[in-house]
Every structure is written in structure tokens, then in C-alpha cells.
Amino acid sequence: MGSLCSVQKKKGNQPACIWMQAGVVPRKICNLNYDCAACTFDRAMTRAADENRKSRLEGKSHAGESGRIVYWKDKLRALPPWKRPCLHHMKGRIDFRACTGEYQCGKCDFDQYFNDQYSVHALLRPVEVLDVDGFKVPQGFYLHRGHTWLKVEENAEVRIGLDDFAARLLGPLSYVEAPLLGKELRQDRADILVHRKERKALLLSPVSGVVTAVNSALREKGRKVNDDPYASGWILRIQADDLRRDLKNLMIGEETEAFLAEEIDRLYQVIEDEAGPLAADGGQLGKDIAGNLPGQSWDRLVNLFLHT
């Protein structure tokens, strides 16, 4: 099979398919960023491996190349334990780490840790950012009209949070009340509660589905949302019910840019109506807009911009 590290990427730094890294096929490049659930090749190979496994159990065998196909996990399980690469290494996200759980990722503590912590920075940290008058949204993030964001991960699982506009609008948060694991959320329903001392604001969910993870750090340090809204300040992970349907109701790219421009114009109008010029940072709106407006402005800001 050769060195797993050496076959992870081939010519032109093209990522090698998991089936190729395991040595089941001699050459196959991944063009889907390792979203195996959406890959027709993965489904075909899995189907062939399942058929061959069933035939072997029945004492039968298939001739030819297809008859030698085995599931990539079975191929790697034949290696000594210390040579079995973790799936996150095979996907190019971490340096070599041996799999210690027979490729049962759902039962792996490290896989849970990676998805809860490391992947926030390794996968969500944006390279390009859309900047509209100082308010930022990373490229590839979907935006809801209630200023929650959505980032698609793997297998219809998504990560959601509060966008930079709303984080600066509300100012430093005390803590976030997120739904419990297993709780069902509905798109456009107010299922998340944020607190700023005695003030509260509900957030609309950008997607329907079941909660699979909660950023527990926000229970004590809601300020993380303000400091890093698109990475360490994420709020929930959700297994989406019908992601394709829900994405049609969200904005991305140029739609986000136009929406934010309109929201910023409305915000300036509110500021002018209630307080005149607002203290600005470098010619742009500051990071605590609600805190610089009269106390009764909180409810108006929440109603106008969060739609709750």
C-alpha cells in the first residue's frame, strides 16, 4: 500500500480519495473536500464491498477486479494498530495519528473533541471575508435575516452562530442559553436566548433539525460570541432535516452583501433618531452599539434586526 502519509496527496497537491489511501484502488482523486456522503464513487464502492462481504459469508466469490473490493475500513483494520491512520489525518486536517477505535468514529473521544474544538479553527477559520462598512461575514457562510449564520459541515450537519453585525449591535454578552442536545429546532423559530446582564434577546434558528452539540463555554463566557463570532463563538451544531430546502431561504455572497448594506443604512437611521452621531471606531460603528444608545433602545434594536 505504501506510506499513508506519502499517498495522501498526489500530483498538484490533489487530495487522494479515502479508498485510494487505504489501498483499495490504485488512483482516485477527491473533488468533494471529503464529503463522502455526497460522493457517488463512495456509494458505489461501499455497495460493491457489501456485496462481496455477503458473498464471502455465503461461500461464494466474484471474479475480476470488482470481486476484490473490500471496505476501506476493513482494509486498514488488517494493519497493525499503530499503522492505522485516524480519519482526520486521511482528510488532511491533522498530522499522523493512529486510530484507536476500530474506525468507529461515533464512539471516539478524540473525534468528539476534534468536532467540538479543533475543527472550529481548522475548518471554520475563514481565508476570505466579506467586509461591508466594517461588518464582516466569511465567504461560504450562509446568513439568516435574523443575523444568525450557518456553515455546512459534513453529512448534513451544520454549525450556527450570531453574525458580526448582531454581536456588535447587542454588545458584550453575559451568557448564551442554547437548546439541549436532542432538542428539535425549526427554521425561523426563536430557539436561542442570549443575555446581556438583565437584558435578553431571542435568536431565530437559520435551519430545522436536531441539536447535536452545544458550545458549553458560552454558558459562562458569552463574550466569546463578540470576540470571535465565526469560530470560537459558535453556538450550536445541528443535524439538518432538509438542508437543501432550508438553504434556499438563506443568503450567501452577493445576497449577503446587499442585505448587510440595507441593514447598516437602517441602523444609522435608528442611531440618528435616538441619539444623534454614535461613537465610532476609525470612522466605523463601534462594538457596543446598544450600550451607546438610550436604555429603551434595546427592544427596538432586537425587534428591528433580530425579528423577535
Instruction: Output the pLDDT for position 65.
Output: 73
Q: Is the pTM of this model over 0.75?
A: no
Are 97 and 86 in contact by the 8 Å Cβ rule? The answer is yes
* 65-115 tens-digit pLDDT: 777 899 999 999 999 999 999 998 898 878 888 998 889 887 787 877 776
3 pLDDT more than 90: no
In this predicted model, what pLDDT tens digit does every residue of 172-222 receive, in sequence order? Answer: 999 999 999 899 999 999 999 999 999 999 999 999 999 988 998 898 899
Three-state secondary structure of 160-224:
EEECHHHHHHHCCCCEEECCCCCCEECCCCEEEEEEECCEEEEEECCCCEEEEEECHHHHCCCHH
The pLDDT assigned to 265 comes to 92
| pLDDT, position 305 | 95
